[in-house]
Structure formats: structure tokens, C-alpha cells
Amino acid sequence: MNEKPRKRDSIQTQERILAAAKTEFARKGYDGARVDAIIARAKISKNLLYHHFHSKEELYVRVLERTYETLRRRQGDVPLTGLDPVEAMRRLCESTFQTFIDEPDVIVILNTENLHRGKHIAKSPIIRSLYNRLSNSIQTILAEGQGRGVFRSGIDPVELYISISALGYFYLSNRYTLSMIFDRDLKQPDDLKRRKAHIVEVILAYLTTGVGPSPAAPLTDERSAQKTT
């Protein structure tokens, strides 16, 4: 009778630890993060933390897994199967960029892991399996689009996803320096909307080069106004 409450308490404790660890790693990176700070933020004892996670590295790897799971889940929240392939690719572009906007810690933690040259990701088979499934989904969409004559052939699904991700990731991870360089606040909602439309337009133009007119990206408010004047 007591097994379920104990299991529920254990899960809740792990969630509290992971939430505290995510904040600490996002703010201070892997090297700067302190286990004592995570313990204090989670309001637990040191023994309890080490009962669930045997080391700082193990905890960090689990935070990394959660980070990638969040990104994939948010992308998966937008159903792609059964859609017109152009619409499916449009939604993948939009959901990827929107996740980076809504989950800023994702970018910070990925930046941290890249500073470590991916050595912690290498210890997680979970992350690789997540992206194997994504690659397969993209390949299915590409094959359908090619079969309908709307996407060109010879597209590598991994290269395509890297481009989709990079067009949003670079913009958001460098938005403060880019805003200063170009004297333009790239964090404003209208700028984010324009960027999202731009990403869709660039990717669809790449996919449809040589197979007829490129499908139009959604018009931003500004572009819509220009078209009607």
C-alpha cells in the first residue's frame, strides 16, 4: 500500500533535483555549477541527491537528456504525419524556432556542452536515439515530397535538420551581440516573427529549387501590409 506514495515521492524528488540542476548548469555552466548550490535550490539533503544521482556528471548528463527531450517533445507536439509535405516542413521549421524562444535554457545548456566538445552527450544513448527517430521522420517527409514532385532529390535529412536548427539557434544565441552590431533590437516580437518566416522561406526555397515555384512562406504583418498598399 505504501509503495505507490514512496515511488511518487521519489519521482517528485528527482524532478525537483533536475529542475534545480538545470537552473544551476544554465547559469554557471558545467564547471562553474556547484552541487551544494543544487542541493540548496532543491531544498534536499546531500545524501538524498546522491541517492538519486551518483555524481555531478551523471546529474549533468541527465539534464542534457532532458534538454534534448524537451526540444524533441516540442517538435513532436506539432503532428507532421499525414500532412502535405510542404506544410509538414513548414511546421517543423516553426516549432524548432519557437522551442528555442520558449525554452532559452536549451540554448545555454547546448552552448555549454559544445564548449566541452560533446563529451557528456557521448555518454547518453538516449539522445542519439531521439535524433535517429527525427532523421527518419524527416526522410519520410522528404520522400513524400519528392514523390509528389514538390521537393528536389539529393537532400540529406541530417544536413537539412542542422540548417533548420542553425537558422534559429545562431540568431537567438547571438541576438544580444547582433542587436548591438546592427543597432536593432532583435528580441522584439515583430523581429522574432520575421525571423520565423525567414527560416521557413529559406528552407522551402532550398527544398523546392528546380521543381517549380517555391511555396510562399506565411506573410508577416509587415509584409502583408506592403502587399496590400
pLDDT at position 131: 81
Tell me, what DSSP letter sits at residue 214? P
Count the residues in the chain: 229
Which residues make up the CATH 1.10.357.10 domain(s) of the chain? Answer: 63-212
pTM of the model: 0.80
- Between 3 and 31, residue with greater pLDDT: 31
Lowest pLDDT segment from 41-50, 126-135, 160-169, 181-190: 126-135
Q: What is the mean pLDDT of the chain?
A: 87
CA distance 51 to 120: 21
Rounded to 10°, the helix 56-76/125-148 angle is 20
CA distance 200 to 219: 11
Examine the pLDDT at 80 and tell me if it is beyond 80: no
CA distance 159 to 135: 10
- Between 125 and 175, residue with greater pLDDT: 175
- The secondary element (H helix, E strand) that includes residue 146 is helix 125-148
What is 1-54's CATH number, 2.40.10.10, 3.30.70.1290, 3.40.630.10, 1.10.10.60?
A: 1.10.10.60
Lowest pLDDT segment from 77-86, 134-143, 159-168: 77-86
Q: Which residue has the cell 548548469?
A: 25
Classified by CATH at the fold level, domain 63-212 comes out as Tetracycline Repressor; domain 2 (1.10.357)
